[in-house]
């Protein structure tokens, strides 16, 4: 256990006990599980307090755990250049509950929250321009959700007759197949050329 990280986690938890649910150390990094409603208050404290100074928001990303009632994690990765420390703040939410935007605290959060909305469908309340970022505007669904089909719902192609991009339902060109997952040596039943040599008895004297 890193004592410096432990002291920092204790300091943050003591300063904002209503916002911090749990403090952990994971892979020599400090991780804080926070309450969704208090995320703005916590990030503002981490940015402005003289003992923290986490002024760089490196990333906002999501994670999907569909077996949970609150299936999504929203993860904020921050960097303190002054103290040469990193911290990970995590909140949980579901499909119906909005997460407060932090655009007014970190301007780069605008694009990061758009990406998370696009790929996971996590809504950020108060975001000034919450549009899709990586997929097309007419895209259906959110492709990083665990229940999103690997093939997608539609495929895109350019139609020469219509002179425009069109969307077609996905049509698999290959029927579903059952694989036995055996190696070629275990699954092969017919004799290959040369196999008859292995069945010959050894020559005399050998």
Q: pLDDT tens, position by position, for the chain (206 residues)?
A: 789 899 999 999 999 999 999 999 988 889 999 999 999 999 999 999 999 999 999 999 999 999 999 999 999 999 999 999 999 999 999 999 999 999 999 999 999 999 999 999 999 999 999 999 998 877 889 999 998 888 788 888 899 999 988 888 877 665 555 555 555 555 556 666 666 666 666 666 66
pLDDT at 156: 81
pLDDT at 92: 97
Which residues, in sequence order, are CB contacts of 65 under 8 Å at separation 6+?
71, 72, 73, 146
Which residues, in sequence order, are CB contacts of 124 under 8 Å at separation 6+?
98, 99, 100, 101, 113, 116, 117, 130
Which tokens go with 145?
């959700």
Overall pTM > 0.85: no
Beta bridge partners of 32: 23, 89
User: Which run of H or E residues covers position 44?
Assistant: helix 39-48
Q: Are strands 29-34 and 85-93 parallel, antiparallel or unpaired?
A: parallel
Cα 44–Cα 53–Cα 48 angle in degrees, nearest 5: 35
pLDDT at 18: 96
Which tokens go with 61?
């990303």
| Cβ–Cβ < 8 Å for 112, 122 | no
| Residue with the two structure tokens 């029927």 | 175
């Amino acid at each position: 256990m890193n004592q410096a990280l432990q002291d920092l986690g204790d300091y943050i938890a003591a300063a904002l006990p209503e916002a911090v649910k749990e403090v952990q150390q994971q892979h020599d990094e400090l991780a804080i599980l926070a309450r969704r409603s208090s995320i703005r208050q916590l990030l503002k404290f981490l940015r402005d307090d003289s003992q923290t100074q986490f002024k760089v928001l490196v990333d906002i990303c999501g994670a999907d755990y569909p077996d949970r009632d609150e299936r999504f994690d929203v993860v904020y990765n921050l960097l303190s250049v002054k103290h040469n420390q990193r911290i990970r703040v995590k909140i949980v939410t579901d499909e119906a509950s909005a997460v407060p935007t932090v655009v007014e605290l970190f301007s780069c959060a605008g694009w990061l929250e758009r990406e998370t909305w696009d790929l996971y469908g996590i809504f950020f309340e108060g975001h000034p321009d919450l549009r899709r970022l990586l997929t097309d505007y007419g895209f259906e669904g959110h492709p990083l959700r665990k229940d999103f089909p690997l093939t997608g719902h539609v495929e895109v192609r350019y139609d020469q007759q219509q002179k425009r991009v069109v969307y077609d339902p996905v049509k698999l060109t290959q029927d579903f197949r059952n694989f036995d997952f055996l190696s070629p040596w275990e699954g092969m039943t017919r004799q290959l050329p040369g196999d008859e040599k292995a069945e010959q008895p050894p020559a005399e004297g050998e």
